[in-house]
Structure 1
Amino acid sequence: MTVSNILRKSCLIALLSLGTSAFAAETADSAMPIFDLESLQPTREQMIASLNTVELLRRHHYNRISLDDALSSEIFDTYLRQLDPQRSLFTAADISTFEEYRHKLDDLLLVGDLSVGFAMHTRQIQRADQRMVYALQLLREGIGQLDFSSDQNILIDREKAEWPADQQALHVLWRQQIKDEVLRLKLAGREQDSIQELLEKRYLNAQKRLYQTRSEDIFQNYINALAQVYDPHTQYLSPDNAENFDINMSLSLEGIGAVLQSDNDHTKIVRLVPAGPAEKSKQLAPADRIIGVAQDQGEMVDVVGWRLDEVVKLIRGPKGSSVRLEVIPASNPPSDMTSREVALVREAVKLEDQAAKSSVLEFNEQGNDYRIGVIEVPGFYIDFKAYRRGDPDYRSTTRDVRHLLSDLQEQEVDGIVLDLRNNGGGSLQEATELTGLFIDKGPTVLVRDSKGDVQVLDDPEAGITYGGPMAVIVNRLSASASEIFAGAMQDYGRALVIGEPTFGKGTVQSIQPLNHGELKFTLAKFYRVSGQSTQNRGVVPDITYPSLLDTVEIGESSLPRALPWDTIPAARYQADSRLEQFIPLLTDKHKARAANDPEFAYTLARIELNRAMQEREYLPLNEERRRTEQKEFEDKLLAMENTRRKALGEEPLAALDKEDPLMDGTGIPSPMAEEESTDENDPFLAETGHILIDLLELKRQVASAS
């Protein structure tokens, strides 16, 4: 018998000691079909796919790591986090049994042995079912018998908590979690009968989905534990998900236009597709959590605990049809389950809707009139079909921006702002060509592969389309191609970069078909012409604005095992360093203005309030204390909003209207969530115009002095 077979036999005996009969007995009272755990076994195709995945990652991934005991330990921890992210299913005894295989997964994967991964997942199914049975029994006894007057507290984030000692400890924890769920729904305004009905339905649905677990689900989870230790953008796609690759990145453009991901039991919005229904609604924002989906006027379906692909199937639908989402805003404190309903009409996002567009801001500074041109670039797009068939009028970001620059120069603007906020990237070719409009010649971006070879991409055309004063405004959701362009403008000294540190997505992925499914893996990394990576840190602005987006939750640095920021030798390029001397003075002028700007003051105060709420470790399970805490938060929020309104000469609010969020979908604090945001009421864009005018004045002073 081989070492592999010995390991396999021993792990199956150890890990499956609970047995399928115990599982069936626990579920016998639930009116659900008995689930045959023994049917969950790896197939020959999966074993071959695992061997192919191991070989591809070892030979071709950018992050060339040896599959050894150290990596085995990382795979082990990653898989445990996937199976039980909040440490509320496994006991310390389960973990002790698993630990025997911490440093053996590498040996097993090298020979295509998937038994440990399947056995660990099987134990998780057993524990999850026990939790459903316990919860349903507790709920059927009536939530009225739960005590909400004790001094108990519950740990908010259990990711690093101790594992429950035994089954009794699990029951104590599960009871606390159910009390917390009930309290959250009570504070969100639901009646007791409604809460009981909702939670019973939620746990029954979760149990039903648990019994639908397939061998393919286990295989995908286990192989992704291997893939994810290389970097967060490396992913195994099962045959079903390979056909729906966009599920883990973006909904179909004939949908709501939102990038979604799983976040424990919730479906979280990562970003909004420019010009999509979600972005246009101004009612959704990154980090919002979707907890319910309804078709047109149909019943709202609770999707807490659902798999991402299941939620996506509900949200998708034919163009022109309606969908309603129940959403918990990201701005809510951790204990606040107050939700709002958002109605959207599914539609295809057209190229012309995403096209760059321009406007002009007018200012009067110290008796002088200024006109600042603004070009909003939602994405780096190109009409590939028209381009390939030789259509001379094909649309692209660079072509559209070139026309807009010409129009703005005819209007005799004093400077130009390129707005790349919420621009998630797109065509690398377009990022390179757009850079070429503002520099005469030279490199635009460097691409380093896994072998260390560096490719230099250059400005394809000599000459400058626009050489005047310029600023680029970015935020946390400016990613990929946006970062390449902004980084180039900063390195060349061609424009001031203003706003928030960008997303930090500086890697290149490729998809490789396997015998069974596909593997998406990272094979290269982007670098700025200065040699700095855009990875992880993103582009750090010359002048920084505050942000309501939580960088702990959003951005490359928030992803586990994200590749690090680093540098390589710089390319040969000619930079203009004259902007650097003005940045300290421009920053001082900006801070002086911001100190008296009610929008900036509100944003800073809101950041501090959110930070204080996020730093809490425990929540009380005492209803009176929980209600007091929520009221204190809402009172502070109302006071902040009324301070802002008073400074703007607006009428104060008597109370917060939770159906009218204080933030629109762009992340900009606004009392007009239902109204279309315009340049005139965008404080950050207006401030960028002021900074550009400051730059013009400083340059004139230097010119006069010389």
Structure 2
Amino acid sequence: MPHFIRNTFCLLLLTLTSIALAKVSYSPEQPKTAIEIVNELASKHYSKQVLDDGLSNRFLSQYVNNLDPAKSYLLQSDIDEFSRWENELDNMLKKGDLSAGFYIFNRYQERAEARLQANIDLLESGFEFDLTEDDSLNMDLEQAQWPASAQAADAFWKKRIKESYLRLILSDKEPDAARSLLVKRYTNLQNQLSQRDSEDIFQIFMNSLAELYDPHTSYMSPRSMENFRIAMSLSLTGIGAVLQREDEHTKVVRIIPGGPADKQGILKAGDKIISVGQGEEEAVDVIGWRLDDVVDMIRGAKDTIVKLEIMPAVGEAAGSTREVAIVRDKIQLEEQAAKSEIIEVQNDSGNYRFGVITIPTFYLDVEAFYNRDPEFKSTTKDVQRLLGEMADQNIDGVILDLRNNGGGFLQEATTLTDLFIDPGPIVQVRDANEVVSRNHRSRYNAYYRGPLMVMTNRLSASASEIFAGAIQDYERGFVVGEQTFGKGTVQIQLPVREGQLKLTESKFYRVSGESTQHLGVVPDIELPAFYDAEIVGESSEKNALPWDKINAVPHRRYNLTDLPVDRLIERHKSRLSQDPDLRYLSDELILMRERRAQQSISLNEKQRRQEAKDYDLTRLAIENKRRSAKGLSPYETVEEWQAENSVDADPDGENTIPLPERDPLLYETGNIFADVLIMSDARSMLVQQP
């Protein structure tokens, strides 16, 4: 078929709506539920935000963007038509009128079905993609515009399909197989679209409102609640990763410590999941799928294998993918327990031994605790035991490693702090009515009185920030690492007529009066940042509640950080510029940020292959610079380097790698700690009895 006929055919498919799915309507109970949600948000949410014309305008925009985040299906003419509700959704919702929300969804569904069918027809027509053209696709969704016309949408989608096709070719798929896989992708999306019902649409609509209050406020439909309950009660297991929907991809937000993915070590936060396969079965493309459907595919029976095709966030050339096979398992409490090790640091003034306690999460065996079982497990009990075991090991100080610790039980953050400070307040909590509670206190004398340092990174959140903030405010020890996540809010679950509403009712405040919300805890000494604060953290979230401050509460200051911090930073920066492993890490982070900053991607196969080759050669040069500085022989080729550093090359894992290379940030924290001890009298670093 001539190209002009095929092009016209695709255009007709987009502009005509002869293929129409049944329109979705709301149920009799959903208007009543909507009114209840609106009232609960108005009366109980911390922000006390008023549902007025201004919020109505943002609500409309949020809903449309939630339906079509990549501006792929709706046209500018649709957006212009929807604008008639800009200042009306507030009044409509207060009366339980959901007609606008369902009208907009039905239009979206109509456009999406026509577009997906057009994509399938284009691929099945034998249309040849010219991979020699010097063309590119804009990947910056923040700058994306709604297509001005059907013709503009056609042009955009041809580029998008071409990029998906090229990505598969670069992953060693044969042309016919790549084409077939894309047809399956768009067919699956059609099936997903056709299965959406009023419950799905109502959840999207109400969440579009809830998200405007803050990122942690959300509505869960009855079916979603039931699916969650079943998932928690059945003997289904997973990979130990927290996932979220980002545009049309499923993104890994956090790897759960002690879980299967953590043990394997390949899957990382920021990776995007492209397809999911069961054992030896063919993988299913999941781009565009609903998050809960992707999660259902990843879950399964214990000891079975799930295969993930991922687009790595770091360490790979732009646009490349790799396959990861993970054995499903349950995450046991013991796997997330605090662990200790002794590290030795050779400083220019001598050798130092530090006890390192890694705390993956703030855990508590609730059932055993309330049953008064004396053997119940908790973070505080385990850390106290580890501190006791270190007492006879001639250590110079203790490093508490809270990197990647996303929080947990507030009670444990309080009792853990109690091990290091004498009686006093630890955190303040202010509710929506501005009532401040200061009940979370240290109630016993400090168990460990020696030198202390706390490590954090961008994924240290919630309870981790409460602990780190208290140690900093009491001047009990230095906080070293990255600025923390900034999750300083408390949520409650409220049942509504149909489903459940989770809303933010309180905020955490440090004893200094500063909130941990949005800002997090700023370290006294910053280490190279692996995570981009503009992408990861509360401050990167739209509608996050702001940082603020209330009155400080009287508390003791131990003055153990009353040292010339500028000198500590100067010595740290000197090592950063000279130490081969730290220089390697800095160079890798610079390369990673440069890659993330790319706003377009080439559609030329030769150029993409060259970019991938150049990327590998750049990383090889960084590695060889490190090796040369350490007196090691450089790798001759990329293949030699990759073979020696593959996961299968070292069956004993990372434990065989020297600490400065395995974890240069931990080793540098030891160096900073050594500098602190050098600058201070050892006796002055001890916490004196009150």
Q: Same fold (TM over 0.5)?
A: yes
* 2:659 is the counterpart of 1:676: no
Aligned residue number for residue 268 of structure 1: 251
* 2:345 is the counterpart of 1:363: yes
Aligned residue number for residue 98 of structure 2: 114
Deviation at 1:552, TM superposition (A): 2.5
Report Cα offsets for 1:83-111 as digits up to 9, x if no partner.
22122222121111011111110010000
d(CA) in 1 for partners of 2:286, 2:510:
42
Where in structure 1 are there 5+ consecutive unaligned residues? 1-21, 29-33, 665-669
Deviation at 1:322, TM superposition (A): 2.1
* 2:382 is the counterpart of 1:374: no
Aligned residue number for residue 298 of structure 1: 281
Which moves more between the two structures, 116-125 or 407-416?
Answer: 407-416
Amino acid at match of 2:672: I
Contact 1:85 1:159 survives alignment (8 Å): no
* 2:421 is the counterpart of 1:452: no
Q: What does 1:36-185 align with in structure 2 at a 5 Å threshold?
A: 36-37=22-23, 40-143=24-127, 145-185=128-168
* 2:200 is the counterpart of 1:217: yes
Structure 1 residue aligned with 2:501, among 504, 519, 533? 519
Which moves more between the two structures, 123-132 or 360-369?
Answer: 360-369
Aligned residue number for residue 671 of structure 2: 690
Secondary structure at 1:159 match in 2: helix
TM-score by length of 2: 0.92
Amino acid at match of 1:500: E
Deviation at 1:659, TM superposition (A): 7.7
Secondary structure at 1:539 match in 2: coil
Amino acid at match of 2:22: D
TM-score by length of 1: 0.90
Q: What does 1:469-480 align with in structure 2 at a 5 Å threshold?
A: 469-480=451-462
Which moves more between the two structures, 631-640 or 73-82?
Answer: 631-640
Amino acid at match of 1:299: E
Aligned residue number for residue 280 of structure 1: 263
Contact 1:361 1:679 survives alignment (8 Å): no
Contact 2:14 2:118 survives alignment (8 Å): no
Aligned residue number for residue 3 of structure 2: none
Report Cα offsets for 1:37-67 as digits up to 9, x if no partner.
2xx1111111111111000000000011111
d(CA) in 2 for partners of 1:171, 1:274:
45
Aligned residue number for residue 10 of structure 1: none
Amino acid at match of 1:676: E
Report Cα offsets for 1:112-163 as digits up to 9, x if no partner.
00010111111111111121111111111225x2223333332112333332
Secondary structure at 2:638 match in 1: coil
d(CA) in 1 for partners of 2:164, 2:472:
48
Contact 1:372 1:413 survives alignment (8 Å): yes
Contact 2:69 2:248 survives alignment (8 Å): no
Secondary structure at 1:444 match in 2: strand
Aligned residue number for residue 544 of structure 1: 526
Amino acid at match of 2:34: S
Distance 1:656 1:260, change over 3 A: farther
Contact 1:185 1:337 survives alignment (8 Å): no
Q: What does 1:224-263 align with in structure 2 at a 5 Å threshold?
A: 224-245=207-228, 254-263=237-246
Amino acid at match of 1:136: I
d(CA) in 2 for partners of 1:542, 1:671:
38
Q: What does 1:374-413 align with in structure 2 at a 5 Å threshold?
A: 374-413=356-395
d(CA) in 1 for partners of 2:176, 2:641:
23
Amino acid at match of 1:103: N
Where in structure 2 are there 5+ consecutive unaligned residues? 1-12, 686-690
Contact 1:533 1:566 survives alignment (8 Å): yes
Distance 1:442 1:64, change over 3 A: same
* 2:340 is the counterpart of 1:327: no
Which moves more between the two structures, 208-217 or 484-493?
Answer: 208-217
Deviation at 1:675, TM superposition (A): 1.8
Deviation at 1:248, TM superposition (A): 12
Deviation at 1:460, TM superposition (A): 4.1
Which moves more between the two structures, 163-172 or 116-125?
Answer: 163-172
Report Cα offsets for 1:15-55 as digits up to 9, x if no partner.
xxxxxxx9997565xxxxx6312xx1111111111111000
Contact 2:308 2:323 survives alignment (8 Å): yes
Q: What does 1:416-435 align with in structure 2 at a 5 Å threshold?
A: 416-435=398-417
* Identity fraction in percent: 44
Report Cα offsets for 1:212-259 as digits up to 9, x if no partner.
11111111111111100000110000112123449999x998321110
Deviation at 1:171, TM superposition (A): 0.9
The alignment yields a C-alpha RMSD, in angstroms, of 2.7
Report Cα offsets for 1:629-687 as digits up to 9, x if no partner.
333323222211222233334443411589879899xxxxx997982357823211111
Distance 1:101 1:559, change over 3 A: same
Which moves more between the two structures, 292-301 or 690-699?
Answer: 292-301
Deviation at 1:500, TM superposition (A): 0.9
Distance 1:113 1:673, change over 3 A: farther
Distance 1:342 1:245, change over 3 A: same
d(CA) in 1 for partners of 2:599, 2:36:
43
Contact 2:430 2:437 survives alignment (8 Å): yes
Contact 1:679 1:685 survives alignment (8 Å): no
Secondary structure at 1:581 match in 2: coil
* 2:184 is the counterpart of 1:206: no
Report Cα offsets for 1:282-318 as digits up to 9, x if no partner.
1111011111212222221211111111111111112
d(CA) in 2 for partners of 1:47, 1:240:
17
Contact 2:185 2:287 survives alignment (8 Å): yes
Contact 1:396 1:430 survives alignment (8 Å): yes
Distance 1:400 1:703, change over 3 A: closer
